[in-house]
Chain A
Amino acid sequence: MSRQVDAEFLALPLDACADAALSRARELGAAHADVRVVSILTAYTRVRDARIEGSLLDDDRGLAVRVVVDGCWGFAASDRIDVDTARDLADRAVALARISAPLSSTRVELAPEPVHVGTWVSAYDVDPFEVHEAERLELLTRRSAALNAHAAVSHSTASLHAVKERVHYADLAGTRTTQQRVRVESDVTAIAVDPRTGSFETMGTTAPPAGRGWEYVTGAAATVGGARAWDWAEELAALPDHLHEKTLAPSVDPGRYDLVIHPTNLWLTIHESIGHATELDRALGYEANYAGTSFATPDRLGSLQYGSSVMNVTGDRLVEHGLSTVGWDDEGVGAQRWDIVTDGVLVGYQLDRSMAAEFGLPRSNGCAYADSAGHTAIQRMPNVSLQPSTDGPDLESLIGGVEDGIYIVGDKSWSIDMQRFNFQFTGQRFHRIRSGRLAGQLKDVAYQATTTDFWGSLRAVGGESTYLLGGAFNCGKGQPGQVAAVSHGAPAAVFESVNVLNSAREAGR
């Protein structure tokens, strides 16, 4: 399907605003200036027990001007999109840069980038904003009602979050790009309550968010091979039984276990322990006050043994349906793919143009992003993915190779320290593995490890048949805080002797 940027966005005075701001910034002596006109549509609908609980529809649009003057950044933004405002923002951004100069001891330099002119639209079939709210609501209500009809389910919720992001970018070098991206996320959760004891358990769907349209939410979307992108019917049908089994499951004995981790869980471990740890701005210290720094410091590039030899991780902004996939980033850098970990060794970072220049690299790999017109672009995460093994094993073979372990499916709670050493994750389902076979669910499982120990214990990665693109809408970073959507591909993988806690005992129960 040929997709185009919405005419309504193109009707805004995109070029006129860009021309006005850029010419004013040039007059005022800016060495670099860029302009973004941004419109972000967000829709959120939530259903509880097959009744609508609430919904939001938001159109966040505005105009942003960023400059480098005398080696300092200046940034100003407004929700007014017109030529006068564009010139005014250029004035204010330049003034802020000049105010900053006495307190700035490091000059901002930007890695060069070829000039790009073009339009790019992400891969989707049906724009979720062209689907009536009634249709969206009917789908969620139907799914919630079906769960509530099951004896094991006390309550259920269903939600849909859809975003359409439209950005026009222009800079003094001559780059002018216009992009439109669509993404969707839907979650359905079943809850079982035992009123006698007051205990309760939940079981949520594990469908990842995707850079797709409404067709993904309905289950109609297909992969390149023709299979369903996500089989909602199958997952929803199984959810009550999974939940019921969990309520009856024994509490885990804490200790060390071999883990087989499904990509619906492993994506989040990749995100926290590899994705954030290999952001160069963090590694250099620029996020030290907020998100933190990284153990993967630049002096260890090329030598840090991040994990075992079967660990290969890439960064990209290219993969189809990826949440971080773009045509160009928010500094006008073309989308790329590169290596981050090769054969277990750290070989690359995520960069924006200033980080690339500071690190002496000839080009950024295109990781600048701002989550709205109101925020300046900073280095954000691309799609960071663990590569599957060529002709590698399927899931059954991976489980079959484990004598005594736990198979973990779906994400839930997550936490990691500010240098990305110590992490702890839970999940949706934990299946005991005995002699290579699944032997019923466990509950109260949390796995805890140090990043390099964990990835060093990676014994095997699955083949293409086990690979899935997971991800999240809500990755946070920066001050003022920004959110970004990002995907992480992963195969199922086997880790040896990982520390497993019993979360109930941790709480003193």
Chain B
Amino acid sequence: MSTPQEFVERALSASSSRACVVLVRSQSLANVRWARNTLTTNGETLATAVSVVALVDVPGGVAAGSVTVNNPGLDGLADLVRRAERVAVEEGPADDAADLAADVAASPDWSQGPTIATSADLAVLAPQIGALFASGRADGIEHFGYAEQSVTTYYLGTSSGVRLRFADPEGRLEVTAKSHGRSRSTWAGRAARTLAGIDLEDVDREVRQGLGWQANRIDVAAGRHTAVLTPSAVADLMIDLYWNSVARDAADGQSVWSSPGGGTRRGATVADPRVHLYSDPAMTGLEAIPFVVATGSSGSSSVFDNGLPVAAVSWIRAGVLEDLITTRHTAAETGLPFRPGADNLRLDVEGGTGALEDVVARTQDGLLVTCLWYNRVVDPQTLLLTGLTRDGVYAVRGGEVVGAVTNFRFNDSPVSVLGRIEDAGAPAATLAREMGDYFNRAAMPPLVVREFNFSTVSQAS
């Protein structure tokens, strides 16, 4: 069987154009899913995607052509390179053309094979899942859930000499528990580099606590209320904010970060002065790929930036918008520094201490929101999002959870939320309920937010 390194070297040697980028992604995934206290589906998959970005001299500049094929075989690489070169010639000069990264030290583990996730990685959970089902049946609780272990190993090689490797493991576990004819419903999720670090019994304790809280129902009308947002709920809001922090959109006047009169709001106070929102590929426990990989260009990525380092960036510091996502090209267009986005995100609120239960204990009157769901942008000018609370909203009175209320549709902006923080805990690794599929590395504090807009009641339970 061919190795990723062979794919890289063979494709580069087949290139006859100005320059070439080859990205090999070895992707493995093992997963198991359950519902109603029984396993449903499972799977084990392995694939190797080979992307070739041909950079070709054409009249007027340099063109880029990108083609990706699953496991083309060594014999298929020359054809893959030719296809990429043809696409480049047809597309004509690229606006983001630039020299490829050079003088980048090779990864010390370049010669290593890919790390592979298999069903054996799930075996660690099997006894705990069995116990979960048994206790659920005994206690009248239905469990639904999903666990997966994946590893993507990146191999990036360029004709300018870049040879970079990064193994990117992701583990995820989610449990939904329902009882009393499904009138009660709770959820808990965990994200980690490996499933071995996740304690399913701890997750079960969390969902059982929620089911217990739902024994008492309290009527609360829709409207603006103080919200106690779990780290998961905060993560979903902040990931939306992060992904909408693209410099070119702001400079074009099409973003919440656009400044009246032109330009961006970089340097403006946009949040509570205690807020620090940042990314760092080296963040302990949330390690992310430390160099740019891009198979296509857009406002937030450029194929010409492949291999450049991804550094730590403060997006908002001391409440001030400090940076926006740029490529080298959009950095030059907007006059901003080059700031490629990283695949992790952390929110610190200065002075924030304690875990969720500590924050609840400090809250006199509010609604504790387990997680958010189906969040979509309604108005990009304010980054107004709409979405739903899901699987548990609880009334907090005098520092204690006193019962469950209905679910709500919310209409609020994460930018505005960062200006209405009443209290915060310490950040901890969390799984965003909705965005966790796409963004597995978030550390968020629980937040108490005043006047959160619970727009209407949802009957869903």
Instruction: Using CB atoms and an 8 Å cutoff, list the residues of chain A in contact with chain B.
Output: 44, 46, 48, 51-62, 72-80, 92, 95-97, 99-100, 102-106, 132-134, 137, 154-155, 191, 193-200, 202, 285-290, 292-293, 295, 374-376, 378, 413-422, 424, 426, 444, 446, 448, 450, 479-481, 499, 501, 503-504, 506-509
- Expressed in whole angstroms, the Cα–Cα distance for A133 and B54 within the complex equals 15
Interface contact B68-A56, CB-CB below 8 Å: yes
Interface contact A413-B144, CB-CB below 8 Å: no
- Expressed in whole angstroms, the Cα–Cα distance for A395 and B453 within the complex equals 37
Least CB distance from B441 to A in Å reads: 17
- Expressed in whole angstroms, the Cα–Cα distance for A294 and B297 within the complex equals 40
In the A-B complex, the 10 residue pairs with the closest CB atoms: A198-B260, A193-B253, A54-B297, A419-B460, A134-B90, A506-B411, A422-B458, A507-B384, A79-B47, A133-B90
Residues of A within 8 A of B148 (CB): 479-480
For chain B, residues 126 to 185, give those with C-beta under 8 angstroms from any C-beta of chain A: 126, 129-130, 133, 142, 144-146, 148, 174-176, 178, 182, 185
Residues of B within 8 A of A506 (CB): 378-379, 384, 386, 411, 453, 455
- Expressed in whole angstroms, the Cα–Cα distance for A400 and B294 within the complex equals 52
Residues of B within 8 A of A378 (CB): 41
Tell whether B31 is near chain A: CB-to-CB under 8 Å: yes
- Expressed in whole angstroms, the Cα–Cα distance for A403 and B295 within the complex equals 53
**In the complex with contacts A155-B252, A286-B35, A422-B457, A507-B70 CB distance below 8 A:** no
Residues of B within 8 A of A509 (CB): 381-382
- Expressed in whole angstroms, the Cα–Cα distance for A431 and B90 within the complex equals 42
- Expressed in whole angstroms, the Cα–Cα distance for A72 and B41 within the complex equals 8
Interface contact B126-A448, CB-CB below 8 Å: no
Interface contact B44-A96, CB-CB below 8 Å: yes
Residues of B within 8 A of A102 (CB): 130
Instruction: Using CB atoms and an 8 Å cutoff, list the residues of chain B in contact with chain A.
Output: 29, 31-49, 65-71, 83, 86-87, 90-92, 94-95, 119, 123, 126, 129-130, 133, 142, 144-146, 148, 174-176, 178, 182, 185, 187, 252-254, 258-262, 295-299, 303, 373-382, 384, 386-388, 390, 407, 409, 411-413, 416, 437, 453, 455-461
Interface contact A285-B258, CB-CB below 8 Å: no
Residues of A within 8 A of B297 (CB): 53-54
Residues of B within 8 A of A132 (CB): 90
**In the complex with contacts A76-B45, A80-B71, A285-B142, A503-B379 CB distance below 8 A:** yes
- Expressed in whole angstroms, the Cα–Cα distance for A55 and B89 within the complex equals 13
- Expressed in whole angstroms, the Cα–Cα distance for A421 and B379 within the complex equals 23
- Expressed in whole angstroms, the Cα–Cα distance for A381 and B270 within the complex equals 42
- Expressed in whole angstroms, the Cα–Cα distance for A444 and B379 within the complex equals 8
Residues of A within 8 A of B29 (CB): 374, 480
Residues of B within 8 A of A415 (CB): 374-376, 386-388, 409
Residues of B within 8 A of A499 (CB): 456
Interface contact A503-B296, CB-CB below 8 Å: no
Least CB distance from B214 to A in Å reads: 16
Interface contact B384-A421, CB-CB below 8 Å: no
Interface contact B416-A507, CB-CB below 8 Å: yes
- Expressed in whole angstroms, the Cα–Cα distance for A499 and B222 within the complex equals 15
- Expressed in whole angstroms, the Cα–Cα distance for A248 and B188 within the complex equals 46
- Expressed in whole angstroms, the Cα–Cα distance for A76 and B42 within the complex equals 9
- 14 further contact pairs, Cβ within 8 A, besides A134-B92, A194-B253, A415-B387: A55-B296, A56-B296, A57-B67, A58-B68, A59-B67, A77-B44, A79-B47, A106-B38, A133-B91, A155-B254, A198-B381, A285-B35, A413-B377, A499-B456
Residues of B within 8 A of A78 (CB): 45-47
Interface contact B387-A103, CB-CB below 8 Å: no
Interface contact A193-B252, CB-CB below 8 Å: yes
Can you report 10 A-B residue pairs in the complex whose CB atoms are below 8 A from each other? A52-B92, A54-B303, A55-B87, A56-B66, A61-B69, A77-B45, A195-B262, A374-B47, A414-B376, A426-B378
Least CB distance from A158 to B in Å reads: 14
Task: Please pick, from A74, A195, A287, A503, the residue contacting B384 in the complex, using a CB distance under 8 A.
Answer: A503
**In the complex with contacts A422-B459, A479-B33, A290-B146 CB distance below 8 A:** yes
- Expressed in whole angstroms, the Cα–Cα distance for A375 and B31 within the complex equals 10
Interface contact A376-B35, CB-CB below 8 Å: no
Task: Please pick, from A46, A289, A504, the residue contacting B187 in the complex, using a CB distance under 8 A.
Answer: A289
CB-nearest residue of chain B to A476 = B437
- Expressed in whole angstroms, the Cα–Cα distance for A47 and B418 within the complex equals 34
